[in-house]
Structure 1
Amino acid sequence: MTVSPIAKRCVLLALALGLAACGERDITLHELRVRGDGPEEFAIVPPKPLQTPESFDALPPPTPGAANRTDPTPEADAVAALGGDGARVAPRAAGAAAGDGALVSYAARNGVQPGIRAQLAAEDLEFRKRASRFTWQLMREDKYYDAYERFAIDPYEVLRLFRRAGVRTPAADPTEERNDNRVGG
């Protein structure tokens, strides 16, 4: 019995697709940090255009770490575009925003543990490994959400609890109820 060339091609195509499906893939959609050496698209803000000043004597002396005349000032530009005085908007220094100083001070009142982010990342990885130790799957899958599923908050249950307690919820739809037939639910 002979096999037609079309059947051979179909079998080869199926094998190639099957082999391609077994390839490695990196499931890091829950990580919002930038990986690699490439630029962060949302961190790139074009500088203001260079302009020749009316007098070079009016230029401030160069100060290391100080703001540059061509540095973007989106808040001041927005205030000026809305008719306000953009010069009255204080430039933000690196670190916490000016309005968050009290919050940062209160959070750090008992001291700050150096290296806490690395420690939490290691503990999180160990927790996820323990939580998914007895699962085996043919396809590689991201276990991040499965590991933390028991800690998830059901927003509809919280909404019902708040309403039963008499708390006003003006931002929530008054008829909002969970619909388990919705997509993704």
Structure 2
Amino acid sequence: MDNFSFDEMWEKIMACDSSYDGLFYTAVKTTKIYCRPSCRSRKPKKINVDFYETIPEAVEAGFRACKRCQPDAGLSPQMELVKSVKSFLVQHYKEPLVLQDIADFAGVSPFYLERQFKQATSETPREYLEKIRVDKAAHLLKNTSLTNLEICYEAGFQSPSNFYKVFRTVLDCSPSEFRNK
């Protein structure tokens, strides 16, 4: 979980962001239940939350699976592929990745990977990677005093023009406008 801070994971569970399902689990200390980031159950107080990278870690810490989001339910082979690709993208978002690199990691053809990923998530691996980068940039804009150019490269973008274009496409505002909100 070196790729996400506590606050970033908190933002994902507050938004019920299903694109992070399988990458980490939310455990509520008061109920002793762990959930997926996308769980629609009532949100706990921030001080009552721990995050775990895997289900066995959560179970070992004494938590049981949520009956609503069923984080322990098995995944189909397609979802296993998508989960491993999502995890790869989260770990390597700073690198200049192309679809072939991602397909090589997954051991499938680029066409098959893109088709399966889009079918499961309604977005391409590139769009998912850009979303990770924009999420990272938005977090840095809110919580640091780094310049937009420093954030551009820290978030894994290869050029400022691409950073501004993708940021505006995803969040419908410029990085400066986002910081000033």
TM-score, normalised by the number of residues in structure 2: 0.23
TM-score, normalised by the number of residues in structure 1: 0.23
Between structures 1 and 2, the one with greater helix share = 2
Say which structure, 1 or 2, has more relative contact order (CA 8 Å, 6+ apart). Answer: 2
